[in-house]
Amino acid sequence: MSEAGDLLIVGTLDVLAGTPAAMRGLLGALPDVIATRPADEGWSPRDVLAHVLAVQPGALAHRVQLMLDADDPAIPGVDEADALERSGFRERPVSWLLAEFERTRQQHLGPLRALGSGQLGRSGRHEQLGTISVANVLHHMAFHDLGHLQQITAMLQPVYDEGRGRMRDAY
């Protein structure tokens, strides 16, 4: 761990680095009929992946860069629904989304891994939340990734449950 260990929970950047592979493991081989099937809340697994990809630039890269470039900058909120709709990602195939997510996440992680304590502690004023730090943003993105991995897993469980037959009675 770097000198920033006291500000960044151990493994935070590893979660961010591992999310694209986890998404690929869950979605990479799924037929479109499953990947695009809406769950109860209206989103499909592909929609969730598209959402994660759509908010990444504003929620992660832009916020961090603002705080690194200026003292106490204003940090805009991200309208997640608008970011998704403007991105056009909902219509892209899962294979494209996975490749783009892997590419952009890797691109963002390089500079993040080089941040020291002073940089992780830099802050800005979020328009709705008040003062946040670079470390807060990184922890939030790890939390966000894990939540959406859980969401996709929950969406896929019924698909596999259908094929369990009598094994449904096992547990």
Residue that has been written with the tokens 């989103």 in this structure: 43
pLDDT band at 1 (very low <50, low <70, confident <90, very high): very low
CATH architecture entry for 3-156: Up-down Bundle (1.20)
pLDDT of 158 higher than 80: yes
Between the alpha carbon of residue 157 and those of residues 68, 123, 152, the distances in Å are 41, 40, 9
Residue 49, judged by CB atoms within 10 A of its CB (0-12, 13-18, 19+), counts as buried
Beta strands in the chain (DSSP E): 74-75, 123-126, 130-133
Question: In this predicted structure, what is the pLDDT of residue 6?
Answer: 60
